[in-house]
Amino acid sequence: MQTLPGSDVDSDHNLLVANIFTRLKKIIRFQKRKPQWDLEKLYAQRQRVQDTLEEKLGAMGCDSENEVQWNNLKECVLVAVSDLVGKVEKRARKPWITQEIISKLDERRKWKNVNTEEGRKNCRRLRNELKRATDNAEKEYLENICNDIMEFQRIGRYDLIYMKTKELGWKETQGIQNIGFEDAQGNRIVEQSLVLKIWENYITELYDRPNRPETLEVEPEEEVDTDEEGLYIL
């Protein structure tokens, strides 16, 4: 960078001359994540991991140098956790995606960048195989979910039905969609006031039994003994 104050230009500013070098930024499209330890498995086998570490640390000799002791301690912990716990495997976003499908996806991604006749041919072949494999896997997954829901309904476990239904991928942020009700004539009603009227008629017909009492006799509070009083009605 250099300034030229003696340049003959019609300006009160000094002329500045500089050499600029530009470099294009490298865009990392796929950044490989570092695998993490399986904390759920570690919690489940915490007693076994603790016993193994105590055994290894007891057999480890004492060294005068702190750096050597730290390296031995770190290696001991890493070896024990690697053998007993391991790291979390790569999980797919969709629950029906298997490890075989993930391997084919990685293979297809490699052939996709090969701009040859063989590369295009293998890419098309893997694409068709992936389409069939994912369709079959999704169909089998949904059938298993439906079978589990039917079994839970048969034994009366409605809490498990709710939990199993949530696995289908419904998001709570989407809210409840107003799909309407059908009246006695089969017409679909979506207006809130009319829907409430349908519920009112349904409850009335449900509890309108022939032998139901016409009036309900309630004793005054001051005439009832304290030990026989019921709960307060809010």
Residue 200 lies in a domain: no
- The answer to the question of residue 144 being in a domain is yes
pLDDT tens digits for range 152-170: 888 888 878 887 787 776 5
Q: What are phi and psi of 144, to 5 degrees?
A: -65, -40
Distance between CA atoms of 90 and 50, rounded to whole angstroms?
27
Confidence band for 32, pLDDT divided at 50, 70 and 90: low
Domain assignment present for residue 197? The answer is no
Reading the block at residue 102, the tokens are 């993930």
With bands split at pLDDT 50, 70 and 90, how would you rate the model's confidence at 174? very low
Count of domains in the chain? 1
Residue 178 has pLDDT above 60, yes or no: no
The answer to whether residue 117 sits within a structural domain is yes
Q: What pLDDT, on a 0 to 100 scale, did the predictor assign at position 234? A: 44
Mean pLDDT for the stretch of residues 137-150 = 87
Check if the beta carbon of residue 198 is closer than 8 Å to that of residue 189.
yes
Residue 149 covered by a domain: yes
The answer to the question of residue 99 being in a domain is: yes
Helices 46-59 and 66-84: angle between axes, nearest 10 degrees: 140
How far apart (Å, rounded) are the C-alpha atoms in residues 124 and 118? 10
pLDDT in tens, 44-72: 888 888 888 888 888 776 666 788 888 88
- Tokens 């298993």 correspond to 144
pLDDT in tens, 8-26: 667 777 778 888 888 888 7
Q: What is the DSSP letter of 224?
A: S
H or E, element range at 3: strand 2-4
86 is a domain residue = no
Domain extent for 117:
92-170
Q: What secondary structure does DSSP assign to 42-77, as a single string?
A: HHHTHHHHHHHHHHHHHHSPP-S-HHHHHHHHHHHH
pTM over 0.95: no
Share of the chain above pLDDT 90, in %: 0
Distance of CA 38 to the CA centre of its chain: 16
Chain centroid offset of residue 155 CA:
28
Does residue 225 sit within a domain?
no
Helices (H), the chain: 39-44, 46-59, 66-84, 99-112, 117-155, 158-166, 192-207
Using CA atoms, how far apart are residues 221 and 207, in angstroms rounded to an integer? 28
> Per-residue pLDDT averaged across 200-224, rounded?
71
Stretch among 31-35, 79-83, 90-94 having the lowest mean pLDDT: 90-94
